[in-house]
Amino acid sequence: MAMRVLVIEDEQKMADLIKRGLEEEGMEVEVSYDGDSGLNAGKSGNFDLIVLDLGLPGKDGLEVSRELREAGHKTPILILTAQDSTEMKVKGFDTGADDYLTKPFAFAELLARVRALLRRTQDEDSTRLQIGDLSLNLINRRAIRAGVEVKLTGKEFELLEFFMRHPNEILSREILSDKVWGGTFDNLTNVIDVYINYLRNKIDRQFEPKLIHTVRGVGYTFKAPSSESRMIAETKAS
């Protein structure tokens, strides 16, 4: 399945070059040309990586990175900027960015950094996801909420795992169809809603706060219960 990249860059020529180059590598690329639309896309879309320019109209890149992290989004962020001072780099990393590339740059270097960030995400050997009082063990495929084990079918487990990997994001039925079922949305719309109800009955009906919420006319979102809730990944001991 193709990796999805969001490019937030106000220089159209630069954005188009990056988009074309990444698409030639088999990636799906969406472009935003200002900070506000980029932030909205980052919050509502389902991306594997964000390439983020700092000097943007509207919200600047630092604000976009900071607000994405404060909203609980874990998508890797690669910052692009003409400012190469150590102070600016520190500011970028402090907002939650994962890597930093100074303009001008060779596309080969950009591609190498993009691949490295995507590989880091894919290769992370996580064994447990946790948000609030809900824990998902990826090894024995057990779900526990508030100390109570919740029995899930295989597809319910996959759906919950996808939700927990994308907390606070608005996920359309089309995205769920593609990422969880790997099928055509037109043939799955009722199936998706049925499974959402199954999952709600198991992880939400007897517990508070509710985690799965309907976004009318759009899809669903899995809301972390508070700003202190987090997703953690534990790695197997070597």
How is the beta sheet containing 77-81 ordered, strand by strand?
Answer: 28-32, 4-8, 49-53, 77-81, 99-102
Instruction: Choose among 228, 196, 195, 226: nearest CA to 208.
Output: 226
State the maximum Cα–Cα separation within the chain, in Å, rounded to a whole number.
Answer: 55
SS3 (DSSP) at 123: helix
Whether pLDDT at 236 is above 70? no
Query: Which pLDDT score, from 0 to 100, does residue 163 have?
Result: 95
Q: pLDDT digits over 90-114, tens only?
A: 888 888 898 999 999 999 999 999 9
10: left (phi over 0), alpha (psi -120 to 50) or beta: alpha
Instruction: Choose among 168, 167, 159, 130: nearest CA to 146.
Output: 130
| Intrachain domains 4-123 and 128-222 with the same fold | no
Q: Check residue 73 and report its DSSP letter.
A: -
CATH topology of domain 4-123: Rossmann fold (3.40.50)
Query: Which pLDDT score, from 0 to 100, does residue 238 have?
Result: 30
Q: pLDDT digits over 121-166, tens only?
A: 665 546 788 888 898 988 788 899 988 999 999 889 999 999 998 9
Query: Which pLDDT score, from 0 to 100, does residue 93 have?
Result: 87
How much of the chain, in percent, has pLDDT values that exceed 70? 88
pTM of the model: 0.56
Provide the pLDDT confidence category of residue 226 given band limits of 50, 70 and 90: low
Query: Which pLDDT score, from 0 to 100, does residue 147 have?
Result: 87
- Tell me the domain boundaries of the chain: 4-123, 128-222
Whether pLDDT at 16 is above 50? yes
Domain 128-222's class?
mainly alpha
Mean pLDDT, to the nearest integer, of 114-118?
A: 89
Whether pLDDT at 229 is above 50? no
**60-64, 98-102, 198-202, 226-230: least confident range:** 226-230
Identify whether the C-beta of residue 73 lies closer than 8 Å to the C-beta of residue 32: no
* Residue environment code for 193-227, b if the CB has 16+ CB neighbours within 10 A, otherwise e: eebbeebbebbbeebeeebbeeeeeebbbbbbeee
Provide the pLDDT confidence category of residue 185 given band limits of 50, 70 and 90: low
Mean pLDDT for the chain?
A: 85
Whether pLDDT at 13 is above 60? yes
Residues 6+ away with beta carbon under 8 Å from 21:
107, 110, 111
Provide the pLDDT confidence category of residue 40 given band limits of 50, 70 and 90: very high
Instruction: Choose among 162, 171, 161: nearest CA to 46.
Output: 171
Higher pLDDT, residue 230 or 67: 67
